[in-house]
Amino acid sequence: MREPIPISVAQALADWERFDTVVDARSPAEFAGDHLPGAVSAPVLDDAQRAAIGTLYKQRGAFEAKRAGAAIVARNVGTLIGTLFATRDKAWRPLVYCWRGGNRSAALATVMAAVGWRTSVLEGGYQAFRRHVIDDLAARAPRHRFVVLAGRTGTAKSRLLQQLAARGEQVLDLEALACHRGSVLGGMPDAPQPGQKRFETLLWSALRAFDVQRVVFVESESRKVGQCQVPEGLIGAVRAARCIRIEAPIDVRSRFLLEEYRHFRDDVAHLRGLLGRLVPLHGRERVAQWQALAESGHWLALIERLLAEHYDPSYDRSMRRNYGAIGDAPSVDLPATDESALQAAAAEIAERARLSQPSA
């Protein structure tokens, strides 16, 4: 009878393609918090069952908890084999992991191996993977040559990153990974932010897919993107990188933002509440004026005032403080934000980035 094959994180990542499926045996809540790339959720204990076994352990001891847990795990493993994995043929090769590489992954992997599947178990489980992500992200970030798109709010930097990606350039879109536009009004409607662990795994996955011999385009972000914090090594590498400034007239920026943030027109009360968070910075009188413009539907006037009175001064201070290369950065003009204008600007950005790189 086959036995599960223990494998380290480094070994698994070095030969990732050999696994047909990465199987997460933890609870759904643990899986939602973060998981290995491409993993599928196959909980041997669901959230309620895991909590109940934990309570039993505290109240009646390890033996009682293990006995009760084993019965539940056995039923759940049987269900998984008969449903989620029912169509897998004899050649299927899964990699199974749990929190620490302990009982949960062992229970599922043992049955899988007994069926006849060539089953590997991740040594140290998710915790070992998490340590690898932290260490490798810190080591990997400084190896890349970043080019930073710098520009005031409304210069369509995220759209330009998308255009660059469509051209085949390497792009690290921090706002897309964090599901946040990086300001007090930057929350994405109907798209909650990932937790910090998940954000870091997504960053690590993106960086490890890049060629270190080619530039990586990234936006000039703050250390925090909503509630997600960019790791120290990565933010340091980005802030030390070459910049390209995007310049656009305020009317172009205002109309672009009017479309990008159109969801606020359907929820003025929510917008008022968010603007209220700026009272400590701007005082009640000025914020009340902004809120009144929102209430009366004077959207372009509101956007132009927010740009002139809040966003532009804040952005300029942040750039002077954090991006030392901004003073010598070449600029690219963005006279409009339609598709053709964005394509033309992206082409110019790519060319300027190529010309700015040191010769091999």
175 part of a folded domain: yes
Instruction: Please name the residues in contact with 259: beta carbons below 8 A apart, sequence gap of 6 or more.
Output: none
Q: Which residue(s) pair with 294 in the sheet?
A: none
Same domain, 50 and 116: yes
For position 273, what pLDDT does the model report? 94
| C-alpha to C-alpha distance for 314 and 307, rounded to whole angstroms | 9
The mean of the pLDDT values for the chain is 94
Is residue 33 classed exposed, middle or buried when 0-12, 13-18 and 19+ CB atoms within 10 A define those classes? Answer: middle
246 part of a folded domain: yes
Mean pLDDT computed over 133-151: 96
- 271 pLDDT exceeds 70? yes
| C-alpha to C-alpha distance for 92 and 118, rounded to whole angstroms | 7
Same domain, 13 and 83: yes
- 1 pLDDT exceeds 70? no
Domains identified in the chain, total number: 2
Same domain, 117 and 171: no
pTM of the model: 0.92
For position 357, what pLDDT does the model report? 67
Same domain, 172 and 320: yes
Same domain, 118 and 217: no
- 360 pLDDT exceeds 70? no
Mean pLDDT computed over 114-120: 97
Domain enclosing residue 26, as ranges = 5-133
For position 358, what pLDDT does the model report? 59
Same domain, 31 and 117: yes
34 part of a folded domain: yes
Choosing from 133, 154, 175, the residue where a domain stops is 133
